[in-house]
Structure 1
Amino acid sequence: MDTEEFQLPRSRMANERLHAMIPGGAHTYAKGDDQWPENLAPVISHGSGAHVWDIDGNRYIEYGSGLRSVSLGHAHPRVLEAVRRELDRGSNFVRPSIVEVEAAERFLATVPTAEMVKFAKNGSDVTTAAVRLARAVTGRPRVAICGDHPFFSVDDWFIGTTPMSAGIPAATTELTVAFPYGDLAATEELLTRYQDEIACLILEPAGHTEPPPGYLAGLRELADRHGCVLIFDEMITGLRWSEAGAQGLYGVVPDLSTFGKALGNGFAVSALAGRRQLMEWGGLRHSGDRVFLLSTTHGAETHSLAAAMAVQTTYAEEGITAQLHALGERLAAGVRAAAAGMGVGDHVVVRGRASNLVFATLDENRQPSQQYRTLFLRQLLAGGVLAPSFVVSSALGDADIDRTVDVVAQACAVYRKALDAADPTPWLAGRPVKPVFRRLA
């Protein structure tokens, strides 16, 4: 379809209704219409497998589903079956359900490097609980975050470090310091500078690049030597890297780790896991000061726990992680070949582990460009590909990948024209897409 003809009138009206009632027009900033070309932010009607339909009637091959949470595809039958079994049994009670026992056993069998687990509904709850626990255990005030990771939590200890720090006291932000990924010497210097002040090191154990050899083991040694807690944020790496996350793949055991996203295949569930010695500080069977670790009304709602158990079983029995890697490798090879074939191989760049691919859009000087990202997204949308990233789900088939590569090739042909003109503006049809974290709207 020609991008000039591609219009989303119903989605455009629905976006106006969303903005009238919901700050930002979405419940997650990364889903905002500012992340999409102007007037081309689809509002979704429904999804099935690797496809979604917008309210204008267009069908898309979808990537990055549910901000990486729907790794098995939408409405996965095994997950839905597990949830349906619980629907007529109630969802939330005045005492723990037996489902909580079963879900904990299933999780700890999947992630054997952890000894205890507590469930919640979103990633921010569990990362903040991990930070609170680390502060309680160590008696130290400061948190050291990996500065290369774009997001840890909606809570003040992290958001205060971003350009969207309005409303957060400076005194809170001053307690958070940053270390660079992959640089043990710089991290040790930070720990020495704030000797006996840093409660924890929190990081995503792997991202767009593999951890340098010995890096995670080196962090483990630094944390032990300096008496701080090592926390792995496995929101993305959990299940996608291995069933037991990055810690299971690389063999380095953190003190605490947090899981979410793929854990529920779209259902709301997250987990804080870790060593019993630390986790018990939030329990009833110790003699020290009590830590308010996690206490959420809906944290153990049975439908989402049933979904999580079904997801973990599906991963184990069907080899989902291997499938995600194979699909990602096929997609990455196709996109790279298409970009190179159109002469933009140095400008449309695929990065990351095969199960977690992202793309960069670079200008004529090979610098990241929101304008060129806008051009690329417009072309993908018009071709029926919804792709804020190239993060795959196991529901994708070879035909989906092949179709995506064809659409990418068409988009790259337009990209080449814009590069030759040294100006993508004629192909934008509106303002460029914007980064999530920025000071002004």
Structure 2
Amino acid sequence: MTEPSMPRSAQLQERLHQLVPGGAHTYARGSDQYPEGMAPILTGGSGARVWDVDGREYVEYGMGLRSVTLGHGYRPVVEAVTAAIGRGTSFSRPTTLELEAAETFLRLVPTADMVKFAKNGSDTTTAAVRLARAATGRERIAVCDQPFFSVDDWFIGTTAMNAGVDAAARSLTTRFAYNDLDSVEAALAGDDVACVFLEAATGSAEPQPGFLEGVRAACDRHGTLLVLDEMITGFRWSPHGAQHVYGIRPDLSCWGKAMGNGFAVSALAGRRDLMELGGLRTDDDRVFLLSTTHGAETTGLAAFLAVAEAYTTGDPVARMEDAGRRLADGVRAAAQDAGVGELVTVSGRPSCLVFGTRDPDGRPSQAWRTLFLQELIAGGVLGQSFVTSAAHTAADVDHTIDVVADACAVYRKAAEAGSVEGLLRGRPVAPAVRRTAAPRRLP
């Protein structure tokens, strides 16, 4: 496939690197996550389609790091936010919108007694850690071996990109393996862990029978709080979260992303006795809990209420899953037809699909992933995954499957040659969270 011309995107990306560390405001959006010279700078979108500054149109997947489930520019959300802006966005006292949003959220999430809103996920996960430490009198945290929980020290200290995090903070967080109850028990063995942090499921892994129930029981035995991260699963697995799907009751849960269909809003929810530690009705020492200027700003809450209405009156999850199942079937068939069915794979929940790319020896490979991404982008498909939205149409899916078929033909050429050399233009993509800045080039 002919490499697309992106001169304007390249120019603006270079300018961004001069002004913004990393050239983007989220590491996962960085140009190093895309084939060299093929990271488009976008001007906007509608539904599941986006456009770049070079006039190219794409079917997009991932949808704002999984935050957009109803589609870009979803009219009822836009109208609700526009109306809220007209009435003012930030006040010196609570608004009726805050009460309505809290009542609506707690109807959707009946495992929680109270909720507090914020603007991003890290605020809420760190607030959960603080509550857990205050409630238990313990300092250590146990986090699951899953990609991301917070930009704050208690989590970033456990990653390869931990420069600037002091040793004391790093020493207070321990890891355990997903779907491995023995590793959970090992992490909790000292009875000194304030909370266990995990996603109930991920795009590529579902809980094995008994795992979540075992984690809940282990937390109860060891006096540890269970915190579920619903950033991705909330409003994608269900409007009631993955906790509803799997029948697990957390002590605290953290929400964001799809809550506002791309607008900035997040939430910490949980048991009344825990949440009140950050309130005015407690005899215990108070926790400084999510006191933010913009947590109750009206556009995010109005967006959430419009999203909640869409989920109450319709079934966006079913539409996401229908598109995802159709896409997964088509991708698997295209890969099989090209003779690379063992190398190009798709897995995960239908609403949260990821694709896998392996070299001819069957090993996961960043270089081969880059080749696949390169061909997708050249064909007008943009995404580091196949995460769908309710806005993905049959035409969007059909176009994607056609592009995947072309990409798999190129992939087969590389597989037959035993190398991506000559087909991959530029360096491979790199992990978003890594110790060194420079992406590694092909040997």
Asked whether the two chains share a fold, i.e. TM above 0.5, the reply is: yes
The answer as to whether partners of 1:371 and 1:425 remain within 8 angstroms in 2 is no
> Shift in Å at residue 24 of structure 1?
0.1
The separation in 2 between residues aligned to 1:109 and 1:282, in whole angstroms, is 22
Aligned to 1:158: 155
Confirm whether residue 175 of structure 1 aligns to residue 160 of structure 2. no
Aligned residue identity for 2:268: L
Confirm whether residue 53 of structure 1 aligns to residue 47 of structure 2. no
Aligned to 1:200: 195
Q: Which ranges of structure 2 fall in alignment gaps of 5 or more residues?
A: 438-443
The separation in 2 between residues aligned to 1:323 and 1:112, in whole angstroms, is 24
Please list the CA deviations of residues 368-411 of structure 1 after superposition, one character each: whole Å capped at 9, or x if unmatched. Answer: 11111111111011110002100001111111101100000000
Runs of 4+ aligned residues of structure 1 deviating over 4 Å after TM superposition are none
The answer as to whether partners of 1:3 and 1:378 remain within 8 angstroms in 2 is no
Please list the CA deviations of residues 104-154 of structure 1 after superposition, one character each: whole Å capped at 9, or x if unmatched. Answer: 01111111111110011001000010011101100001000001x110000
Q: TM-score, normalised by structure 2?
A: 0.97
Aligned to 1:377: 373
Aligned residue identity for 2:318: A
Q: Which ranges of structure 1 fall in alignment gaps of 5 or more residues?
A: none
The answer as to whether partners of 2:320 and 2:392 remain within 8 angstroms in 1 is no
SS at match of 1:401: helix
SS at match of 1:143: strand
> Shift in Å at residue 358 of structure 1?
0.6
Aligned to 2:417: 421
Aligned to 1:223: 219
Aligned to 1:271: 267
> Shift in Å at residue 74 of structure 1?
0.3
Find 1:409's aligned residue among 402, 405, 409: 405
> Shift in Å at residue 186 of structure 1?
2.1
The separation in 1 between residues aligned to 2:5 and 2:160, in whole angstroms, is 33
SS at match of 1:200: strand
> Shift in Å at residue 160 of structure 1?
0.7
Q: TM-score, normalised by structure 1?
A: 0.98
> Shift in Å at residue 293 of structure 1?
1.4
Alignment of 1:118-267 (within 5 A): 118-147=116-145, 149-192=146-189, 195-207=190-202, 208-267=204-263
SS at match of 2:309: helix
The separation in 1 between residues aligned to 2:403 and 2:227, in whole angstroms, is 40
Cα RMSD after superposing both structures = 0.8
The separation in 2 between residues aligned to 1:125 and 1:378, in whole angstroms, is 35
Aligned residue identity for 1:169: D
> Shift in Å at residue 22 of structure 1?
0.2
Confirm whether residue 96 of structure 1 aligns to residue 94 of structure 2. yes
> Shift in Å at residue 189 of structure 1?
2.2
Find 2:314's aligned residue among 298, 314, 318: 318
SS at match of 1:426: coil
The separation in 1 between residues aligned to 2:343 and 2:191, in whole angstroms, is 45
The separation in 1 between residues aligned to 2:368 and 2:2, in whole angstroms, is 15
> Shift in Å at residue 277 of structure 1?
1.1
SS at match of 1:131: helix
Find 1:330's aligned residue among 326, 333, 338: 326
The separation in 1 between residues aligned to 2:312 and 2:368, in whole angstroms, is 40
SS at match of 1:410: helix
SS at match of 1:187: helix
Percent identity, aligned pairs only?
A: 61
Aligned to 1:303: 299
The separation in 2 between residues aligned to 1:199 and 1:276, in whole angstroms, is 17
The separation in 1 between residues aligned to 2:70 and 2:358, in whole angstroms, is 31
Confirm whether residue 77 of structure 1 aligns to residue 88 of structure 2. no
The answer as to whether partners of 2:85 and 2:299 remain within 8 angstroms in 1 is yes
> Shift in Å at residue 191 of structure 1?
1.1
